[in-house]
Amino acid sequence: MSGRDPEALPYRINRAPVPKLARSTAMLRAGLLSLAVATLIFGCLTLRVVSGHDPALGNDLSAGSRNAAASSGPATPVESVEPEEPAIPAAPMVQPAPPPLPVQTSTS
Amino acid sequence: MQAEHERTLDLFGARVRILVGTPLDGERRSPALAALEAEALLRRLHADLSRFEPASALSALNRNPAARVEVGPAVAMLVRAAIDAAEASGGLVDASIVEPLERAGYTSSRVGVRPASLTAALQWAPKRRPAQPRPGHPWDQVALSADRSTVVRPPGLRIDSGGLGKGLAADLAGRRLSRFSSFAVDCGGDLRLGGVRGLSRRVEVDHPFDDDMGLSFDLAEGGIATSGMKTRIWADGHGYSHHLINPATGQPAWTGVVQATALAPTTAQAEVLAKTALLSGPESARHALEPWGGILVLDSGEVEARGGLSLALRTGKAAA
């Protein structure tokens, strides 16, 4: 041993700047992670809407129970994209009327 | 297709017929119910306006010696119409000539009484001349209060409902049937026609000289009345009488016209026109019937259509 107190050794902190390439890689990695999380959330929400699976309820809803659930709580708003058929105006109903009977005018 | 609903009854000293088509325009009553309600209205009017029913409101007015008499709505309506008729006819249609009518022998309803021969009566009748209004125009002294509750007239002046009462009744009953496809109210030959659809109806007209012959025309809406001496004519000790009185003389009128049929917007108007035409003689009758149309039958049996009315000749018994 050289008798030097290891505690006395100069403590060197490497303060060299992070290379630009490494910094870009980190940002890219964070961006990809965010994108993955967002994709996962969107996927879950889509799956819930399409299949009726409600993670909060923890079960897969059949058609009947879906309706019951819809009537018992706030329904997920789903806009219909079905085009409405234009209403065809009903033809006026012509009620048949009997022909008037003959009458007679006479002296009063 | 079903025919119009038909209801017949005897009223106003004549046969009454009510015809009702299909309910339209939100009308909720069946034709049968509407006809029944029209009948009830006609019966109430007859009970109020008959001169031959002692218990009628008109008889009560005629018995009352006072100059001012409170009356109900039916009598008020009749008095208003009688005042208008006298004014429109220049006094020829005079509802106050009850006494001359009774003197002539028309003291009770002539239902079921066989009339005398019109041909024989015309051979006997005096020289033809137009009727004239009564001297002094007593109708000028008849008034109805503004609230239509009181009749003011010279004490003793009596009023006859006659054909005017039937015309008013037909108009009122017809008004309650206006939302059916078609309707007709026939009060002893005084007709009110109408209906939502505006369907034409054949109207038969009696021929005064021949029961097996007649005339007909088509009409969808309005009033029709015929005045004539065919059915209310009788022999008295001196000759013949009938119920169409010359107001000036108080005697039956022999004017050269034996029957006049008038068309008008309402039956009451048609009644006044028909009687005016018969009483005023052939020349004035032609003018009276020109605006709305009509038919004249003269003493000679000659038939004239007025106002462009298109007539058809019928042979054989009438269908109506």
- Residue from B7, B19, B113, B216 whose CB has the most chain A CBs within 10 Å, to mutate: B19
Percentage of chain B with pLDDT > 90? 74
pLDDT at position B32 over 90: yes
Q: Which chain B residues have a beta carbon less than 8 Å from that of A108?
A: 14, 162-163, 166, 188-190, 225-227, 271
Q: Which chain B residues have a beta carbon less than 8 Å from that of A107?
A: 189, 206, 208, 226-232, 259
State how far residue B8 is from chain A, nearest Cα, in angstroms: 12
Q: Which residue has the tokens 């119920």?
A: B243
Q: Which chain B residues have a beta carbon less than 8 Å from that of A96?
A: 1, 22
Residue pair B225/B189 in contact (Cβ under 8 Å)? The answer is yes
Q: What is the pLDDT of residue A60?
A: 46
Statement: the pTM of the whole predicted model exceeds 0.80: no
ipTM of the complex: 0.88
- The tens digit of pLDDT for each residue in B203-220 reads 999 889 888 888 999 999
Q: What is the pLDDT of residue B27?
A: 96
Lowest mean pLDDT among A77-91, B117-131, B215-229: A77-91
Whether residues B189 and A104 touch (CB distance < 8 A) is answered with yes
- CB of B317 within 8 Å of a chain A CB? The answer is no
Q: What is the pLDDT of residue A37?
A: 83
**Distance between CA atoms of residues B91 and B31, nearest Å:** 40
**Distance between CA atoms of residues B85 and B259, nearest Å:** 19
Among partner residues A95, A100, A108, which is closest to B184 by beta-carbon distance? A100
**Distance between CA atoms of residues B28 and A32, nearest Å:** 76
**Distance between CA atoms of residues B279 and A39, nearest Å:** 105
Lowest mean pLDDT among A49-58, B19-28, B33-42, B164-173: A49-58
How many residues are given for chain B?
320
- The tens digit of pLDDT for each residue in B83-101 reads 999 999 999 999 988 877 7
Q: What is the pLDDT of residue B191?
A: 98
Q: What is the pLDDT of residue B303?
A: 94
Whether residues B166 and A108 touch (CB distance < 8 A) is answered with yes
- What residue of A is the nearest CA neighbor of B19? A101
Q: What is the pLDDT of residue A16?
A: 55
Q: Which chain A residues have a beta carbon less than 8 Å from that of B201?
A: 100-103
pLDDT at position B175 over 90: yes
- CB of B21 within 8 Å of a chain A CB? The answer is yes
**Distance between CA atoms of residues B39 and B15, nearest Å:** 12
Residue B229: both structure tokens together: 């001496």
Return all residues near B192 (Cβ < 8 A) that are at least 6 apart.
Answer: B170, B171, B173, B174, B184, B185, B222, B223, B266, B267
Interstrand relation of B233-235 and B240-242 (parallel, antiparallel or unpaired): antiparallel
The average pLDDT across B248-265 equals: 95
**Secondary structure letter of residue B140 according to DSSP:** G
Domains of chain B: 5-315 (3.10.520.10)
Q: What is the pLDDT of residue A74?
A: 58
Element (H, E) at B268: helix B267-289
- Residue from B49, B182, B243, B259 whose CB has the most chain A CBs within 10 Å, to mutate: B182
Which chain B residues in 127-166 lie under 8 Å from chain A, judged by CB atoms? Answer: 162-163, 166
State how far residue B66 is from chain A, nearest Cα, in angstroms: 31
Element (H, E) at B161: none
Q: What is the pLDDT of residue A2?
A: 44
The count of C-alpha atoms lying within 13 angstroms of the C-alpha of A51, restricted to the half-sphere facing its C-beta, is: 12
Concatenated DSSP letters of B22-88? -B-TT--S-HHHHHHHHHHHHHHHHHHH-SS-TTSHHHHHHH---SEEE--HHHHHHHHHHHHHHHH
Q: What is the pLDDT of residue A58?
A: 45
How many residues are given for chain A?
108
State how far residue A87 is from chain B, nearest Cα, in angstroms: 25
- The tens digit of pLDDT for each residue in B45-74 reads 999 999 889 999 999 999 999 999 999 999
State how far residue B271 is from chain A, nearest Cα, in angstroms: 9
Closest C-alpha among B121, B262, B6, B41 to residue A108: B262
**Distance between CA atoms of residues B45 and B36, nearest Å:** 14
Residue pair B252/B225 in contact (Cβ under 8 Å)? The answer is no
State how far residue B180 is from chain A, nearest Cα, in angstroms: 9
Lowest mean pLDDT among B26-30, B104-108, B126-130, B182-186: B104-108
Residue pair B68/B219 in contact (Cβ under 8 Å)? The answer is no
pLDDT at position B273 over 90: yes
Mean pLDDT value across chain B: 92
- Residue from B161, B226, B295 whose CB has the most chain A CBs within 10 Å, to mutate: B226
- For chain A, give the longest Cα–Cα distance: 157
Residues of chain A where predicted confidence (pLDDT) is lower than 50: 1-3, 9, 11, 13, 52-71
Q: What is the pLDDT of residue A69?
A: 44
State how far residue B154 is from chain A, nearest Cα, in angstroms: 28
